[in-house]
Amino acid sequence: MLAFARDIAGRRELLWLLVQRNIKIRYKSSVLGFLWSLMTPLLMIAIYAVFAGIMKWNMGRRDFLEFLVVGVVVWQFLATCVNDSLHAITGNSNLIKKTAFPRVIIPLAQVLANLANFLLTVVVLVGFLLVMKRSFHDVLYLPVVILTQTALCLGLALFISALNVFIKDTEHILGVALMAWFFLSPVFYAAQFQLDRIPAGQEWLVFLNPMTGLICAYRSIFMAEALPGLGLVALSAVMSWLILLLGLAVFQKWQIRFADEL
Amino acid sequence: MPTQPAIVVDSVSKTFRLRGGGTRTLKAAALDALLARRSVRHFEALTDVSFAVPKGETLGIIGANGAGKSTLLGLVAGAMAPTRGAIRTDGTISSLLELGAGFHPDLSGRENVFLYGAVIGITRKKMRVRYAAILEFAGIGEYIDQPVKRYSSGMYARLAFAVAVEVDPDVLLIDEVLAVGDAAFQRKCLQKMRDFRRQGKTMLMVSHDLATIQSVSDRILLLDGGRVVGLGGPESVVNAYRSLAGRQGADGLAREWGAGEARIASVEFFNDRGEPATTFEWGGGLAARIRYEASRRIEKPVFGFALSDSAGRLIYGSNTQIEGFAIPWIEGQGTLRLRIPKLVMANGSYLLSFSLHSEDHRTNYHRLDHRFPIAVVGAKGFEGPCHMPCEWRAG
């Protein structure tokens, strides 16, 4: 852990350049460029609004559109991090095989680039929620929640980018696993929906999924939704940080063989 | 002045795990785990390699394909870890292991220059200082702000080489990168490498171009099958490699065939001073002593020779018949001498072939195609494969 921190601190400039590179490349040679970071979430909100309106899909809530948009935006951050990480190492085989630098910087730079994009999306989201006259709640916790989700994303990114070097099936497993995870997480339903269907005393099982607690926390901040219980949300947070530690440990152990396998 | 060496390679071995089709699929991994079997095979690319490179030295690394040269450079660059042993390096290392490793096609030349600097650990401040020199050496002008995917391969190579040498590293690793680019670019690169050497920088260089590597290296390391089989002065090690390569068939081009009633038993080469040699000074002479043996009397045999470049393309060939040197007959053992008074080819590695055939060319008694590698060094500057006397005059 300490070794990682030292490695990264020593190569701040490389990390920063790679983050910039990842952001630049995303919108390179598109006419609207960086505006897409703002346009995409706006268009997404519009599509959900039209679709949910036509289908009368509201899960019995008047604020279903806001509820859904918060869930989807938060989920998107995780999903892009996970998908990008797949080829973080294998897609940079040139660099890995020919030069020496702390490998952890590549997945970290991708997650940070996605974080920057997510923060812009959050700005759009806040604007949208203000238009919908939602009230915010405990906004001071937002940085902590975002940091925790970033830890989760980084842990997964490290694990997946390293795994894909050794097992090519990772790509296929990942697609299915991500979809299952999506339906297990309270993105288009409330966590309460799951809690209602689980025997009393075993609610914690639901919050072993770090995304459950995270989405609940975001909704509590953005929509003043009641938290299912601080202990349960804390469990999700602990899971997120554990996944980061696990990802770091795996990456640390395997990185020495990256150049041999690529 | 005793200083700490720039590179110390201490009893290094590198083993790769080989699997059937590259990366393992889950099915293969699961089956192996279930049956508790190990499907991996091991391949030892380097075995117990030790050497040290003092600061300021240029060490050339030669050897046949697969001898472990690139693996060795990858290890020194720190991209790979040795399986056993240790490597210690002192100072910043810039590697030209592959032109433009780390360049992103969508980024501009300028962006890629700074990115590469960051990859090898040069601070941005220092990069800003070097930037003008990089731009000047690369000579790609305003294209520097275009994405590198629009570059011609020559521009790409120039920029990549410029960055690697102009970031002013302490140690420069070069892997066979001079094979790309035109003659002018190669000359520029060689000049740059000489400057680099003069500044007391350390270089590790892998190349198949024996003449070049011999002229720029202080010492040469010869690898064969992952082991060090030679380390010493350029000429002696290159000669050792030539004889090794000659035995192994000059990288696959060599061929020996013929009817067999008469054969060329051996060919030896000498320089102008009468010393055995395989490297020759440009403008100097080459003498060959050809020993033959014939199991029966052969009337009017013809001895021939041919000179090809290292890719096997014929440059010049002649024989006793063309030259009007009539041999009435041969039987038993004998010796024939060939002398080329003036070698006029450009610097480089060449392959000599010898043949013994009948007067009507119908019967090839013995042919040794591309069997004898030689090198020419010290040519005066000119363009093209060989020198032609020419005179300039005013008025």
The pair of structure tokens assigned to A66 is 């806001």
Using the predicted structure, report yes or no on whether residue B30 has a pLDDT greater than 90. Answer: no
Over residues B346-391, the pLDDT tens digits come to: 888 888 999 999 888 888 899 988 888 888 887 777 888 888 888 9
pLDDT at B38 (0 to 100)? 58
- Nearest alpha-carbon partner for A140 in A217, A54, A249, A28: A217
Neighboring chain A residues of B119 at a CB cutoff of 8 Å: 14, 95, 99, 101
How far apart are the C-alpha atoms of A217 and A205, rounded to whole Å? 17
Q: What is the pLDDT of residue B251?
A: 54
Q: B49, B9 in Cβ contact below 8 A?
A: yes
Which pLDDT score, from 0 to 100, does residue B39 have?
58
Question: Across the strands, what pairs with B334?
Answer: B292
Residue pairs spanning A and B at CB distance below 8 A? 89
Q: Per-residue pLDDT for B21 more than 60?
A: no
Query: A128 exposed, middle or buried (CB, 10 Å; 0-12, 13-18, 19+)?
Result: buried
Q: Which of A196, A191, A193, A199 is nearest to A232 (CA)?
A: A191
Say whether A101 and B81 touch across the interface (CB within 8 A). Answer: no
Q: What is the ipTM of this complex?
A: 0.80
**DSSP letter for each residue of B44-80:** EEEEEEEEEE-TT-EEEEE-STTSSHHHHHHHHHTSS
Distance (Å) from the C-alpha of residue B221 to the closest C-alpha of chain A?
Answer: 21
List Cα–Cα distances, B232 to A71, B220, B221, B237, B270, in angstroms. Answer: 68, 6, 7, 6, 22
Q: CA of A130 to nearest chain B CA: how many angstroms apart?
A: 38
| CB B92 within 8 Å of CB B122 | yes
Chain B residues within 8 angstroms (CB to CB) of chain A: 16-17, 23-27, 29, 74, 77-81, 93, 95, 97-98, 101-102, 104, 106-107, 111, 114-115, 118-121, 123-124, 147
Out of A24, A92, A98, the one facing B95 most closely (by C-beta) is A98
B231 touches B220 (CB < 8 A): yes
Query: How many other β-carbons are positioned within 10 Å of the β-carbon of residue A10?
Result: 13
- Residues from chain B contacting residue A14 (CB–CB below 8 Å): 118-119, 121
Q: How do strand B171-175 and strand B202-206 relate by DSSP bridges? A: parallel
Mean pLDDT along residues B140-156: 85
Does the beta-carbon distance from A17 to B114 stay under 8 Å?
Answer: yes
Q: pLDDT-derived band of residue B34, with 50, 70 and 90 as boundaries?
A: low
Which pTM value belongs to this model?
0.73
Whose structure tokens read 């009368």?
A56
Note the pLDDT of residue B1. 46
Q: Which residues contact B165 (CB under 8 A, 6 or more apart)?
A: B94, B96, B137, B172, B192, B193, B196
* Residue from A12, A18, A99 whose CB has the most chain B CBs within 10 Å, to mutate: A99
pLDDT tens digits, residue range B292-339?
Answer: 999 889 999 999 999 988 777 888 999 999 999 999 999 989 999 999
Residue ranges in chain A modelled with pLDDT below 70: 1, 29
Cβ within 8 Å of residue A35, ≥6 positions away: none
Average pLDDT score over residue span B70-83: 88
Report which of A141, A147, A165, A136 is spatially closest to residue A217, judged by C-alpha positions: A141
pLDDT of residue B395: 83
Report yes or no: B172 and B204 within 8 Å, Cβ to Cβ: yes
Q: Are A136 and A220 in contact (CB under 8 A)?
A: no
Residues A184 and A204: their CA atoms lie apart, in Å, by 14
Tally Cβ neighbours within 10 Å of residue B331. 13
* Chain A residues lying within 8 Å of B17, measured CB to CB: 260
Q: For residue B182, is pLDDT > 80?
A: no
Residue B373 structure tokens:
């590698």
State how far residue A67 is from chain B, nearest Cα, in angstroms.
38
A226 burial (CB, 10 Å; 0-12 / 13-18 / 19+) is exposed
Residue B10's beta-bridge partner residues?
B86
